[in-house]
Amino acid sequence: MQVQDESLRAFLVESGALSRRALEEAALLAHERQESLAERLALGGYLSHDELRRAQAHLLGVPFVELDHHTLQEEALYLIPEPLARGKSMVAFARRGEEVEVALLDLDDLVYVDFLRTEQGLKILPRLTTAESIKRALITYQQKLKQQFSSLAKGGTHATEALLRHALLSRASSVHLDFKTAGLFVRYRIQGLLHEAMTLPKEAVELFARLKEMAKLSPTLHVPQEGGFKVDIQGGEEVRVRAHSSLTHAGERLVLHLNPATAARKGFSLESLGLHGEPLDQVYALLHARSGLILVAGPVASGRTTLLYTLLDTLHAHHRHMVTVEEEVELALPYATQMRVRPEVGLDTAATLRAALKQDPDVVMVSHVRDREAAELATSAAARGITVLAGVETPETFAEGGARLRGTISTRVVGRVCHLCKEAYKLSRAESTPFEGYANFGKVLAALKEEGIVHPDTQWKEVAFARAGQGCGECERGYKGAVGLQEVRVHGEASLKLIEDGLFKAAQGITSIEEVFRLVGED
């Protein structure tokens, strides 16, 4: 939010902050270099950034504050996750009732704390400040966090609840804990990116041990383990936690995937469909964004509809109005208004979607977008702050989704190998060749190590893959059920491509290397 150049020039002259000659010189350079006057004044050293913020505050009618430890309310600090506060140079420093004062360096960054308004019903009062004030406030915030968790480090259940509550307040989809000689290094994955949260002292070993105990992980078995637990956070919210432990060269590591549950949550989970690790975290981050367009791409029988229903189920909350537009209603959802496409009476996908949008929904799911008109309607809805889940055969249907496209999840279904008769198999150099144009083996190996599937020292040629057996009394020709492969793209980048996810799951022993070969042949 910038002030007009003419208003800034007039104020600076009247206040005596700069001479008219200096301002004319800066304005000429700004014009030649296609910069704003404020940018040129700062870059050219005419005024400091803090002096410009004071001018901006005066012209926009925004209070300018200086922060010290006396003005910081601890309750207010925790309203903005520390990684976000640090990354965007902002702090919530005072709260009175339903109003919260937020100090920041750039008013345009207010968009990053809009969740305080939309999710917590708070009125945000912006305040401009100096870079030094923000620095001091962030140091105080970090010190208070360390004091809070250090005092709880020996507190067993209270400590675990405090950690999980803080992670959820930080809008984290997972918690990464690395126990090293210096202490417990804690990071949160927020909107798909890992952020440093805090470092706890060595005494936090009891917190680490308590989390492993809750997840039913052996304290003495030094191999990769997986478990889980449910916990009621203060306020009555139940959170499901999947825990993965592994040993690294520096010490022990624990990753907690957080899944806040709702009473009406039923059916599949994202994990049961095959999502895992970083792609799973990215999907949760997409859903936490609260608005925008999410595509689910795949041909017929690719698991597209099941994934759409599961995403919708994950988003379900009593305060959200959810509407679906479906060619066939395959699953009745008690919490959603479901509308069926009926082209025989003139209600094609676009017409039905237009009717759905008139119902003022928070979330819209369109089972199959086939044409440009429906795609443009969905994109327009996402631009108005609605979360839109759209099924497509190929992402090119939304070639003009632009900034409203949060991410794309491509999906396929493969056979799940029978765990009783599957065989271990290592690929020869020649057998690896067909995958080379479709997969980065280094990325797959890194993901396998990251999630504790293989030992940290394993080389690619040593990875064993599952191969379907001949069949047994518990399966049909070596397979029992199905599992999904997923490719999650955010900002055009995929952590694992479809074939890479297939290789990952074949190494994990969930699907067979033959099924991954089949997908390569279909591509």
Q: Which residue has the tokens 């089972």?
A: 367
Q: How far is CA 27 from CA 9, 63, 69, in A?
A: 9, 27, 39
| Residue at 343: amino acid letter | P
* Three-class SS state of 515: helix
Mean per-residue pLDDT over the chain, rounded: 84
pLDDT of amino acid 137: 92
- Region 313-339: mean pLDDT is 87
Q: Which residues, 6 or more positions from 252, have their beta carbon under 8 angstroms from its beta carbon?
A: 178, 179, 208, 245, 246
pLDDT at res. 402: 62
Nearest to 120 by CA among 73, 167, 80, 83: 80
CATH of domain 74-139: 3.30.300.160
Q: Are 513 and 468 in contact (CB under 8 A)?
A: no
Which of 3.30.420.60, 3.30.450.90, 2.60.40.10, 3.90.1300.10 would CATH assign to domain 153-260?
A: 3.30.450.90
**pLDDT tens digits, 290-301:** 789 999 999 988
Beta strands in 24-180, from DSSP E residues, in sequence order: 90-96, 99-104, 123-128, 174-180
> Which of 11-15, 108-112, 307-311, 517-521 holds the top average pLDDT?
307-311
Question: Quick one: 413-522 is in which CATH superfamily?
Answer: P-loop containing nucleotide triphosphate hydrolases (3.40.50.300)
Q: What is the pLDDT of residue 25?
A: 81
pLDDT of residue 475: 67
Question: Could you check whether 290-404 and 413-522 share the same CATH topology?
Answer: yes
Q: What is the mean pLDDT of residues 84-99?
A: 90
Q: What is the CB neighbour count within 10 angstroms for residue 382? A: 24
In this structure, are residues 316 and 265 in contact, taking their beta carbons and an 8 Å threshold? yes
Residues of the chain above pLDDT 90, percent? 33
Q: Is 518 strand, coil or helix?
A: helix
Work out the pLDDT band at 522, boundaries 50, 70, 90. confident
CA distances from 382 to 71, 357, 469 (A): 39, 11, 47
Alpha helices in 153-276 (DSSP H): 157-169, 205-214
Assess whether pLDDT exceeds 80 at residue 288: yes
With cut-offs at 50, 70 and 90, classify the pLDDT of residue 262. Answer: very low
Contact, 170 vs 81, CB < 8 A?
A: yes
Confidence category of residue 151, pLDDT binned at 50, 70, 90: low
- Specify whether the CB–CB gap between 1 and 107 falls below 8 A: yes
pLDDT at 364: 96
- Please tell me the predicted confidence (pLDDT) of residue 266: 41
Is 17 a residue whose pLDDT tops 80? no
The model's pLDDT over 176-235, given as tens digits with 9 standing for 90+, comes to 988 777 778 888 876 545 778 777 777 777 888 888 888 888 888 777 787 888 887 655
What pLDDT is attached to residue 326?
A: 93
Look at 337 and 261; give whichever has higher pLDDT.
337
Pick the CATH number of 290-404 from 3.40.50.2020, 3.30.1520.10, 3.40.50.2000, 3.40.50.300: 3.40.50.300
Can you give the pLDDT at residue 386?
Answer: 93
Number of Cβ within 10 Å of residue 234's Cβ equals 9
Tokens 């994950």 map to which residue? 314
Closest CA to 210 of 277, 286, 153, 279: 153
> Rounded mean pLDDT of 80-90?
84
Decide if pLDDT at 341 tops 70: yes
Is there a contact between 363 and 386 (Cβ–Cβ < 8 Å)? yes
Domain ranges of the chain: 5-60, 74-139, 153-260, 290-404, 413-522
Closest CA to 219 of 252, 242, 249: 252
Q: What are residue 125's phi and psi, to 5 degrees?
A: -110, 105
Q: Does the pLDDT of residue 130 top 60, yes or no?
A: yes
DSSP class of residue 122? P
Does the pLDDT value for residue 263 go beyond 60? no
Residue count of the chain: 523
User: What pLDDT is stored for residue 265 in this prediction?
Assistant: 41
Condensed to tens digits (0 to 9), the pLDDT of residues 409-463 reads 999 999 999 888 899 989 988 889 989 889 999 999 999 999 888 999 999 999 9
Residues β-bridged to residue 183: 180
Q: Which residues are registered as beta bridge partners of 25? A: none
